[in-house]
Amino acid sequence: MKIGDYMEKEVVMVDEGEKVIDVARILGEKRIGSVIVTKNGKPYGIFTERDFFSRAVMDNGLDNSVGMYASSPLITVSPEYTVEEASKIMADMKIRRLVVVAEGEIVGIFTASDLVRALSGR
């Protein structure tokens, strides 16, 4: 099973200068757990629900830029990775999301929910 068959293909990107509170609204409105953060138009990090609660909220940084709290560097994989390979990376690195890149472009995101869906045969 390849992760390209299970990944979420719609990836939301925000500029590093966006306020945390505005990005939190995007997460809620779109019902997603992360956004890719760009710097000078290029992806460089990821901002997750965990970053929001454990870093930005704890820092009282809702008006700060999301770039201050983004996790970097991005952990990327190819859509050709197997579900087993992806799950090992996620477990070893203690992360819940992998950014999927093909030919130098982000083509999706593979999450812990996608992993469960793949393993359950859905």
> Tell me, what CATH number does 113's domain have?
3.10.580.10
Is 43 within 8 Å of 37 (Cβ atoms)? yes
- Name the 3-class secondary structure at 89: helix
Global pTM reads: 0.89
Is 18 within 8 Å of 24 (Cβ atoms)? no
Range of the domain at 27: 3-120
- Any residues with CB less than 8 A from the CB of 21 and at least 6 apart, and which? 62, 63
User: How many structural domains are present in the chain?
Assistant: 1
Q: How much is the mean pLDDT over the chain? A: 94
Residue range 31-44: mean pLDDT, rounded: 94
Going by their DSSP bridges, the two strands 13-15 and 34-39 should be labelled as: parallel
Indicate whether 121 pLDDT > 90: no
Q: What do you get for the CA distance between the two ends of the chain, in Å? A: 12
